């Protein structure tokens, strides 16, 4: 409504009084679940740990979190699954996984990947990115946890989170458009993977719902009417041939033009 | 009744550091705070923390800069302790996880800061206080089994036994309204500053001088209270802090003629002179008609001379503040700032182990006065002060606890405070509102106890504060509930602020010279012969502040003319 601002208590947390919610019961309990302190790499040096400049700037993005709980309040995945570790705690987890001084990134990642309410429960809805007043980009941090867990540590979790993500990539690379009939079997390792049969049988209700809602049709499931165009495949080739994974981070951003001062920019514009 | 060896009031940097240090000494520790620890005002410290860690730096250079910054009022034995222990403390913070910015070699990067003769400020973008505070809280969570946390508990008074020793506190659980006595062998006050006595201020709403007033009422002396720091760069619109890091990165101050006027008062250090010097220079420009903005009461801070990428990476918060609160892209155009109340150098008098003259009572951080800041604190020395003296207090209090029996406490103080709260809630709606009195206090202090002061102005402020104290005794509130009744806490805080403001003005009237942050237009010179000494205020029998003096400790640096 025009000129009206609706004020209500934060979501996903029990209300104590008026606008006051119990952050300890939800937000802080989830923060505590990710072992929220540095586990030092040994030996602890006499002076500072020598670490890459970019690495510290990188984790500073999640250090910018003020623990306000806005992302937790707006998280749709947590609304469906109250046990979901959630955006704030996962961003906090990245702060350690991405910190080269931490000694147990693998343990942290394995725990968050194998947890059925862990990093793969995020549904990419962008609500937390929108809600964050500090530019922490919690969803971005969750995606980076996934990439490090899957690509760097090869953690194939029991929740099929990693394979499901790979299935999307494979699907788009081949078809250009999402081909839902392949998505499910690919998420279990492919149609002919021994694991796929029991999993697919268990997923039968999902398949039937898909058929009823015409998300998949028998014809589309068997034939592949759409193939990815060449330029799209070129994008995949380009990204995958990069020696380093491309990570977008607001704290390590900008191009050479940003290195100039505003005065120099104006000068350049005049010329 | 909860009992602890060491009970810490306040969970900012000083309090959390004290708790961790005490716990390491194997005693039972509790930390109590009226807000969740990560909401403590330490979170607002932006620019960084000073330590002589560069190979070409020396702690003596840091100490000299601090002594000079203090206008020779700082106690040099305490300054030596702080500066000598600084590198070790910063390395400790690095080891427990603070994400300090690095140079290309992977070592801690150091930025320039006001009053420093070399780059010596370690930093995390412009969220250094937040980063350290959150890392200390991570450590508190890690050590949950040995440090009890009372989060959102409001301390109403210190308990002093018949021998004059502090043996605990009375506190109210904000969530339930329950009031309780806490027994402790030692109590460490770490409850922060007094910024809310002024309006505007860079300080959070929670900075209401609680600890200073509690200690003052218990008989402890408050020292250097006249020394109020006005930060040179606060946003003209609302008084928000614009970090000194901006000038550290190279930003300029300009008057309405586009002149870098700092060349007049600090030809060598320019914008990076100490804060009292820069704030006075700005106020002079404004008073003489060379200010900017609609009312001519501002100064331009030009950050466009800093490379844009560097600003986006290292001054991110103020990029956002400029955009959100002034509608200015600081990477493209200057932003209008003015001097604004920021810090109190004075506080509860302590020794270098945080001990106050009251047995069993310690103080550390902004609530305390060791005195390492004297007449003027250098930027990035406050985080250092909180951590060094927080740790030292925690260690000393823990050692003391090992040889002290558990105190026996009656419920006299508890019943008195419970009655006091009932009385506030029951007040008729005939007097003024708490918020009105607070507003008048803040504007009065900002008019008469600011960058420039004079006798008549201070006298009128003193009379106003006395009148407000009488009005506050009948001020009414709206909320009579028990759960999260912030209203009743506001009435108690108002009392803390008024007691503290009274000592600030009394000390400012007393010091008839100009030194550091105290500039008397009626006494414009520094007068070492008469005033190279601390002013202490204690609560007299009639409730008014009584003045006494204590000497300044000088070890190796004799007072000299101060030039930047």
Answer yes or no: do A20 and A122 share one domain.
yes
Q: Give the largest Cα separation in chain A, rounded.
A: 68
- Which of residues B125 and A203 earns the better pLDDT score? B125
Q: Which residues of B touch A251 (CB under 8 A)?
A: 125, 313, 316
Answer yes or no: do B421 and B516 share one domain.
yes
Q: For B503-519, what is each residue's pLDDT tens digit?
A: 999 999 999 999 999 99
Q: For A154-187, what is each residue's pLDDT tens digit?
A: 999 998 899 998 898 888 988 888 887 777 777 8
- Within-domain flag for B448: yes
- Within-domain flag for B170: no
Mean pLDDT value across residues B174-192? 97
Q: State residue B335's pLDDT score.
A: 97
Q: Give the span between the Cα atoms of B195 and B129, in whole angstroms.
A: 17
Domain with residue B287: its CATH number is 3.90.700.10
Q: Which residues of B touch A22 (CB under 8 A)?
A: none
CA distances from B495 to B137, B426, B478 (A): 30, 17, 17
Domain with residue A91: its CATH number is 1.10.1060.10
- Within-domain flag for B320: yes
Choose the closest CB to A53 out of B94, B104, B304: B104
- The complex scores an ipTM of 0.94
Q: Which residues of B touch A135 (CB under 8 A)?
A: 316, 320
Q: Of A149, A140, A136, whose CA–CA distance to A97 is shortest?
A: A149
- Within-domain flag for A222: yes
Catalytic: which of B41, B111, B172, B247?
Answer: B247
Q: State residue A200's pLDDT score.
A: 72
CA distances from B325 to A37, B205, B317 (A): 34, 18, 12
Mean pLDDT value across residues B472-480? 95
> Would you call B247 a catalytic residue per the annotation?
yes
Mean pLDDT value across residues B64-91? 98
Answer yes or no: do A129 and A218 share one domain.
no
Give the domain extent around A198: 177-241
- Within-domain flag for B96: no
Asked if A48's CB is within 8 angstroms of B100's CB, the reply is: yes
- Within-domain flag for A263: no
Answer yes or no: do A107 and A185 share one domain.
no
Question: In the structure, what pLDDT confidence band is assigned to residue A240 with cuts at 50, 70 and 90?
Answer: confident
Answer yes or no: do A128 and A65 share one domain.
yes
Asked if B138's CB is within 8 angstroms of A37's CB, the reply is: yes
Q: State residue A222's pLDDT score.
A: 67
Asked if A51's CB is within 8 angstroms of B95's CB, the reply is: no
Say how many domains are in chain B.
2
Q: Of B188, B191, B192, B220, whose CA–CA distance to B394 is shortest?
A: B188
Mapped onto helix, strand or coil, the DSSP state of residue A205 is helix
- Within-domain flag for B479: yes
- Could you please report the per-residue DSSP string of B267-325? TTTGGGS-HHHHHHHHHHHHHTT--BSTTS-BEEEE-TTS-HHHHHHHSHHHHHHIIII
Q: Which residues pair with B550 in a beta bridge?
A: B534
Q: How many beta-carbon contacts under 8 Å exist across A and B?
A: 122
The answer to whether residue A229 scores a pLDDT higher than 90 is no
Choose the closest CB to B134 out of A57, A63, A265: A63
Average the pLDDT over each of A7-11, A251-255, B208-212, B264-268 and give the range with the smallest value: A251-255
The answer to whether residue B101 scores a pLDDT higher than 50 is yes
Q: State residue A183's pLDDT score.
A: 79
Answer yes or no: do B418 and B519 share one domain.
yes
Q: Give the span between the Cα atoms of B227 and B234, in whole angstroms.
A: 18
Q: For B282-337, what is each residue's pLDDT tens digit?
A: 999 999 999 999 999 999 999 999 999 899 989 999 999 999 999 999 999 999 99
Q: State residue A239's pLDDT score.
A: 85
- Within-domain flag for A98: yes
Q: Give the span between the Cα atoms of B190 and B118, in whole angstroms.
A: 30
Q: Give the span between the Cα atoms of A170 and A186, in whole angstroms.
A: 8
> Would you call B377 a catalytic residue per the annotation?
no
B202 close to B490: Cβ distance less than 8 angstroms: no
Catalytic: which of B41, B231, B280, B392?
Answer: B231
Q: State residue A269's pLDDT score.
A: 36
Question: In the structure, what pLDDT confidence band is assigned to residue A210 with cuts at 50, 70 and 90?
Answer: confident
Average the pLDDT over each of A244-248, B4-8, B217-221 and give the range with the smallest value: A244-248
- Within-domain flag for B160: no
- Within-domain flag for A47: no
- Reading the block at residue B3, the tokens are 């009992």
- Within-domain flag for B462: yes
Q: Which residues of A touch B96 (CB under 8 A)?
A: 37-38, 40
- Within-domain flag for B131: no
Domain final position from B339, B359, B393: B339
Q: For B38-70, what is each residue's pLDDT tens digit?
A: 999 999 999 999 999 999 999 999 999 999 999
Give the domain extent around B247: 233-339
B311 close to B319: Cβ distance less than 8 angstroms: yes
Q: State residue B237's pLDDT score.
A: 87
Q: State residue A263's pLDDT score.
A: 47
The runs of H, that is alpha helices, within B328-431 are 382-402, 412-426
The answer to whether residue A262 scores a pLDDT higher than 60 is no
For residue B97, the chain A residue with the least C-alpha distance is A38
The answer to whether residue B264 scores a pLDDT higher than 60 is yes
B186 close to B404: Cβ distance less than 8 angstroms: yes
Say how many domains are in chain A.
2
The answer to whether residue B375 scores a pLDDT higher than 60 is yes
Count the neighbouring beta carbons within 10 Å of the beta carbon of residue B265: 17
Q: Which residues pair with B396 in a beta bridge?
A: none
Mean pLDDT value across residues B438-454? 98
Reported as type and span, the H/E element at residue A211 is helix A204-212
Q: Give the span between the Cα atoms of B488 and B478, in whole angstroms.
A: 9
Asked if B316's CB is within 8 angstroms of A251's CB, the reply is: yes
Answer yes or no: do A188 and A130 share one domain.
no
CA distances from A270 to A263, B307, B308, B550 (A): 11, 19, 19, 63
Q: Give the span between the Cα atoms of B146 and B435, in whole angstroms.
A: 40
Q: State residue A248's pLDDT score.
A: 62
The answer to whether residue A188 scores a pLDDT higher than 60 is yes
């Amino acid at each position: 409504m025009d000129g009206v601002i609706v004020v209500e208590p934060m979501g996903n947390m029990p209300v104590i009084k008026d606008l006051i919610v119990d952050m300890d019961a939800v937000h802080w309990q989830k923060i505590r679940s990710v072992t929220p302190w540095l586990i030092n790499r040994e030996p602890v040096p006499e002076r500072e740990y020598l670490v890459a400049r970019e690495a510290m700037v990188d984790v500073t993005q999640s250090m910018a979190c003020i623990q306000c709980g806005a992302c937790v309040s707006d998280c749709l995945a947590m609304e469906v699954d109250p046990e979901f570790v959630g955006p704030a705690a996962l961003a906090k987890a990245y702060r350690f996984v991405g910190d080269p001084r931490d000694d147990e990134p693998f343990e942290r990642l394995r725990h968050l990947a194998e947890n059925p309410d862990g990093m793969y429960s995020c549904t990419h809805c962008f609500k937390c990115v929108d809600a964050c007043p500090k530019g922490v980009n919690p969803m971005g941090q969750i995606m980076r946890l996934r990439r490090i867990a899957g690509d760097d540590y090869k953690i194939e979790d029991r929740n099929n989170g990693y394979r499901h993500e790979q299935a999307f990539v494979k699907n788009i690379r081949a078809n250009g458009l999402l081909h839902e009939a392949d998505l499910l079997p690919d998420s279990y390792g492919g149609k002919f993977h021994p694991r796929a049969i029991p999993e697919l049988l268990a997923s039968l209700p999902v398949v039937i719902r898909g058929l009823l809602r015409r998300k998949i049709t028998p014809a589309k499931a068997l034939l592949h009417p759409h193939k990815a165009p060449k330029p799209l495949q070129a994008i995949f080739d380009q990204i995958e041939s990069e020696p380093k994974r491309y990570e977008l981070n607001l704290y390590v951003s900008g191009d050479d033009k940003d290195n100039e001062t505003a005065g120099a920019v104006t000068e350049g514009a005049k010329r | 009744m909860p009992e602890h060896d060491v009970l810490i009031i306040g969970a900012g940097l000083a309090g959390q550091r004290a708790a961790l240090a005490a716990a390491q000494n194997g005693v039972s520790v509790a930390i109590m705070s009226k807000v969740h620890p990560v909401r403590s005002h330490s979170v607002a410290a932006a620019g960084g923390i000073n330590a002589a860690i560069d190979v070409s730096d020396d702690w003596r250079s840091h100490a000299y800069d601090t002594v000079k910054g203090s206008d020779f009022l700082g106690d040099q034995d305490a300054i030596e302790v702080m500066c000598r222990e600084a590198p070790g403390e910063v390395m400790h913070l690095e080891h427990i996880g603070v994400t300090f910015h690095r140079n290309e070699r992977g070592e801690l990067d150091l930025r320039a800061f006001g009053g420093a003769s070399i780059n010596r400020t370690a930093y995390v973008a412009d969220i250094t206080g937040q980063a350290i505070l959150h890392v200390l809280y991570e450590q508190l969570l890690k050590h949950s089994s040995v440090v009890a946390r009372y989060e959102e508990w409001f301390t109403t008074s210190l308990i002093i036994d018949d021998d004059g020793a502090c043996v605990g506190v009375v506190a109210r659980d904000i969530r339930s309204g329950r009031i309780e006595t806490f027994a402790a062998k030692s109590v460490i006050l770490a409850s922060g500053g007094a910024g809310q006595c002024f309006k505007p201020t860079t300080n959070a709403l929670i900075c209401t001088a609680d600890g200073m007033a509690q200690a003052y009422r218990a008989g402890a002396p408050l020292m250097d209270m006249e020394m109020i720091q006005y930060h040179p760069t606060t946003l003209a619109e609302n008084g928000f802090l614009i970090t000194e890091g901006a000038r550290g990165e190279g930003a300029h101050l300009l008057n309405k003629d586009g002149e870098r006027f700092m060349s007049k008062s600090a030809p060598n250090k320019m914008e990076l002179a100490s804060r009292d010097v820069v704030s006075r220079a700005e106020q002079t420009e404004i008073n003489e008609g060379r200010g900017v903005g609609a009312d001519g009461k501002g100064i331009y801070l030009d950050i466009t001379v800093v490379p844009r990428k560097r600003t986006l990476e290292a001054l991110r918060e103020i990029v956002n503040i400029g955009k959100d609160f002034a509608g200015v892209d600081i990477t493209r155009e200057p932003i209008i700032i003015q001097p604004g109340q920021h810090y109190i150098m004075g506080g509860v008098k302590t020794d270098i182990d945080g001990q106050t003259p009251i047995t069993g009572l310690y103080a550390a951080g902004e609530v305390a006065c060791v005195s390492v800041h004297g007449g003027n604190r250098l930027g990035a020395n406050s985080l250092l002060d909180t951590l060094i003296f927080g740790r030292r207090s925690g260690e000393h209090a823990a050692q003391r606890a090992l040889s002290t029996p558990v105190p026996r406490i009656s419920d006299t103080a508890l019943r008195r405070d419970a009655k006091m709260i009932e009385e506030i809630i029951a007040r008729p709606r005939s007097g003024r509102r708490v918020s009105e009195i607070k507003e008048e206090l803040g504007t009065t202090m900002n008019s008469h106890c600011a960058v420039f002061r004079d006798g008549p102005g201070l006298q009128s402020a003193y009379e106003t504060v006395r009148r407000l104290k009488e009005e506050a005794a009948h001020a009414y509130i709206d909320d009579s509930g028990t759960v999260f009744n912030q209203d009743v806490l506001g009435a108690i805080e108002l009392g803390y602020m008024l007691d503290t403001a009274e000592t600030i003005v009394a000390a400012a009237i007393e010091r008839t010279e100009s030194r550091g942050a105290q500039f008397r237009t009626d006494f414009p010179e520094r007068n070492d012969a008469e005033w190279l000494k601390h002013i202490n205020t204690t609560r007299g029998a009639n409730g008014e502040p009584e003045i006494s003096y204590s000497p300044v400790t000088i070890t190796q640096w004799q007072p000299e003319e101060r030039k930047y």
